[in-house]
Amino acid sequence: MHPGSLPPTIIMPSFTRSVMNMAPIRQKLVPYPANPVVIYGQMALSVVLSVDKFHRYAHDRETDMSSNRPSLTPAITARGLLRRARFGALGTVSHGVPHVSLVSVATDQQGQPVMLLSDLARHTQNIAQDARASVMVEEAQPSVVRARQAHGTDGATEDRGDPMTQGRLTVTGRIELVDNVDRPALMERFLARHPDAGRYTQFSDFRVYRLLVEDSHMVAGFGAIHDINPDQLLIAHERAEAMAHAEPDIIDHMNADHEDALRDICHNVTGMPKGRWRMTGIDCEGFDVMDSNLGWARHRFEIPLRNPAGARAVFTQLARAARDASASDQT
pLDDT digits (tens, 9 = 90+) for 39-80: 223 322 222 222 233 233 333 333 332 335 567 899 999 999
Q: Which of 202, 234, 266 lies at the terminal end of a domain, its last residue? A: 234
Residues 277-320 have pLDDT tens digits of: 999 999 999 999 999 999 999 999 999 999 999 999 999 999 99
Domain co-membership, 266 together with 255: yes
Q: Averaged over 138-158, what is the pLDDT?
A: 53
What CATH number is associated with residue 68? Answer: 2.30.110.10
What's the predicted TM-score (pTM) here? 0.74
Residue 269 lies in a domain: yes
Q: Which of 234, 260, 282 lies at the terminal end of a domain, its last residue? A: 234
Confidence of residue 17 (pLDDT cuts 50, 70, 90): very low
Domain co-membership, 228 together with 260: no
Domain co-membership, 172 together with 313: no
Q: State how far the Cα of 324 lies from the Cα of 331, in Å rounded to an integer.
A: 11
Q: Averaged over 247-266, what is the pLDDT?
A: 97
Rounded to the nearest integer, the mean pLDDT of the chain is 79
pLDDT of 321 > 70? The answer is yes
Q: State how far the Cα of 280 lies from the Cα of 314, in Å rounded to an integer.
A: 17
Residue 2 lies in a domain: no
Domain co-membership, 203 together with 183: yes
What CATH number is associated with residue 276? Answer: 3.20.180.10
Domain co-membership, 134 together with 267: no
The predicted pLDDT at position 71 comes to 73
Domain co-membership, 153 together with 258: no
Is the Cα dihedral 129, 114, 69, 299 positive or negative?
Answer: positive
- H-type helices in 117-266, by residue range? 122-129, 183-193, 230-233, 237-257, 259-264
Q: Which of 215, 234, 253 lies at the terminal end of a domain, its last residue? A: 234
Range with lowest mean pLDDT among 27-36, 155-164, 221-230, 303-312: 27-36
Residue 148 lies in a domain: yes
The predicted pLDDT at position 145 comes to 72
Q: State how far the Cα of 160 lies from the Cα of 43, in Å rounded to an integer.
A: 20
pLDDT of 106 > 90? The answer is yes
Domain co-membership, 245 together with 263: yes
Number of domains within the chain: 2
Residue pair 286/86 in contact (Cβ under 8 Å)? The answer is no
Domain co-membership, 162 together with 175: yes
Confidence of residue 1 (pLDDT cuts 50, 70, 90): very low
Q: What percent of the chain has pLDDT over 70?
A: 73
Percent composition of the chain: helix, strand, coil (DSSP 3-state, to 5): 30, 25, 45
Residue 26 lies in a domain: yes
Domain co-membership, 142 together with 189: yes
Domain co-membership, 91 together with 225: yes
Domain co-membership, 68 together with 189: yes
Confidence of residue 146 (pLDDT cuts 50, 70, 90): low
Residue 284 domain boundaries: 237-324
